[in-house]
């Protein structure tokens, strides 16, 4: 059964648009990018050409040229060319730009869809070579609403097992589920999407940093504390760079401290948000029941899921997400939109120092408070909703 995610319609509309722009789809592994592309290929009314660069040795620019020429030879404007994991091709954006502009000069036309799992490499290519020639579609981790609709997951199940649809059939066997997430998801992303494509001077440190982050979901962790827990840790600049790379692979984000006056503080102790709760629990030594019964851990998992939901849905330039802390006072998330500042407090049963929200509003009088859980918006209602409808 194919579950059609919301962005599928938007992609098809873009492919059929008279503007004839390149349709670029980015997102993490195992969330349905290729499945969506193959579904679009299946329902597409014209001819299609599909190829994937996800090979042990990344192909060269001639790979793109070969498949582009195949699409050209159809001489049919309704032809659709799909190139998957295109960021693995050396100099992919320059080749695509050259071919696209050559077609435009010659009056050739067909639809092009490019997919990639490295946000950093894709967006670097877009900004350097393809400005004004594409539409970008973000295929994020599956939300609770999607997992509930497609697989009837309860909220607690989604909070533990996360948003990877391919792992659903394994959740009754927790050992197999954890092994699959570790070996087929985490290791694949680290080895194929990062180590193979980035110059990582200390791959062991990079791996240990990810493991450390997964053990501190929704925690504010200073770089000095990280240095104290990691072997051969180098310096804070290295750790900050590695967290940026983890973010580009849709694994971990380090939220910055919000400054009430002036610009947000760059280089502050990051608040670690794991983009999919499956990545946390697959590396934990506790099973589903033990995790739920650990009040402190479950509270961090709930708070992390809130942060991940915000990052997955509010991922464009219209909003920024931070945290705030001053002394013993803390606000879980600060959402800065063009017109408003939202202060979000998560009531998840986790013991916290109270009155952080009250203190923040004394300093930032025009901010809007937003409480999740407890007497605020029910968690299930929030996770079912699109944060854009709430905060934008």
Instruction: Tell me the pLDDT tens digit for each residue of 29-45.
Output: 889 898 999 999 999 99
**Assigned CATH for 7-138:** 3.40.50.300
Residue 351 in this model has a pLDDT that exceeds 60: no
> Phi-psi bin for 294: left (phi > 0), alpha (psi -120 to 50), beta?
beta
Distance, CA of 35 to CA of 24 (rounded, Å): 15
Distance, CA of 334 to CA of 379 (rounded, Å): 18
Token digits of residue 227? 């240095």
- Side-chain half-sphere CA neighbours of 178 within 13 A: 13
Compute the mean pLDDT over every residue in the chain, rounded to the nearest whole number: 90
Q: How confident is the model at residue 170 (pLDDT cuts 50, 70, 90)?
A: very high
> Alpha carbon of 125 to those of 114, 204, 247, 367, 385: distances in Å?
12, 28, 17, 37, 33
- Give the start-to-end residue ranges of the domains of the chain: 7-138, 144-391
Helix intervals (H) in 317-378: 356-363
> Alpha carbon of 137 to those of 60, 108, 143, 241, 380: distances in Å?
25, 24, 16, 25, 26
What pairs with residue 48 in β-bridges? 80
Distance, CA of 123 to CA of 103 (rounded, Å): 23
- Render pLDDT for 137-154 as a digit per residue (tens, 0 to 9): 888 999 999 999 999 999
Total-model pTM: 0.89
Distance, CA of 336 to CA of 339 (rounded, Å): 8
Q: Quick check: 378 and 349 in contact, CB under 8 A?
A: no
Nearest alpha carbon to residue 386 among 26, 36, 33, 145: 145
């Amino acid at each position: 059964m194919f579950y059609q995610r919301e962005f599928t319609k938007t992609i098809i509309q873009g492919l059929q648009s008279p503007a004839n722009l390149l349709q670029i789809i980015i997102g993490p592994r195992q969330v349905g990018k290729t499945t969506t592309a193959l579904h679009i290929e299946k329902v597409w009314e014209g001819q299609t050409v599909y190829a994937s660069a996800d090979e042990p040795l990344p192909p060269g620019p001639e790979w793109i040229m070969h498949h582009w020429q195949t699409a050209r030879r159809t001489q049919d404007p309704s032809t659709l060319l799909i190139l998957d994991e295109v960021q693995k091709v050396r100099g992919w954006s320059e080749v695509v730009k050259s071919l696209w502009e050559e077609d435009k000069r010659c009056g050739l036309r067909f639809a092009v869809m490019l997919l990639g799992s490295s946000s950093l490499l894709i967006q670097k290519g877009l900004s350097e070579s393809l400005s004004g020639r594409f539409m970008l579609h973000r295929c994020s981790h599956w939300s609770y609403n999607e997992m509930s609709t497609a697989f009837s997951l309860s909220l607690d199940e989604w909070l533990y097992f996360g948003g990877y649809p391919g792992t659903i059939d394994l959740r009754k066997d927790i050992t197999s589920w954890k092994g699959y997430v570790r070996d087929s998801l985490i290791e694949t992303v680290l080895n194929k999407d990062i180590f193979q494509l980035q110059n990582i001077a200390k791959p062991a440190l990079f791996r240990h940093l990810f493991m450390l982050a997964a053990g501190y979901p929704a925690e504010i962790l200073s770089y000095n504390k990280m240095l104290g827990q990691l072997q051969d840790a180098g310096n804070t600049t290295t750790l900050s760079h590695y967290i940026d790379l983890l973010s580009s692979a849709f694994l971990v984000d380090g939220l910055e401290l919000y400054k009430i006056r002036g610009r947000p503080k760059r280089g502050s102790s990051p608040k670690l948000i794991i983009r999919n709760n499956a990545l946390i629990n697959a590396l934990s030594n506790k099973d589903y029941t033990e995790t739920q019964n650990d009040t402190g851990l479950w509270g961090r998992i709930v708070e992390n899921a809130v942060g991940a939901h915000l990052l997955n849905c509010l991922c464009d330039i219209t909003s920024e997400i931070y945290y705030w802390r001053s002394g013993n006072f803390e606000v879980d998330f600060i959402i800065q939109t063009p017109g408003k500042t939202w202060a979000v407090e998560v009531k998840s049963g986790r013991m916290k120092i109270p009155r952080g929200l009250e203190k923040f509003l004394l300093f930032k009088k025009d901010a809007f408070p937003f409480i999740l859980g407890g007497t605020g918006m029910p968690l299930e209602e929030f996770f079912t909703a699109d944060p854009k409808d709430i905060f934008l």
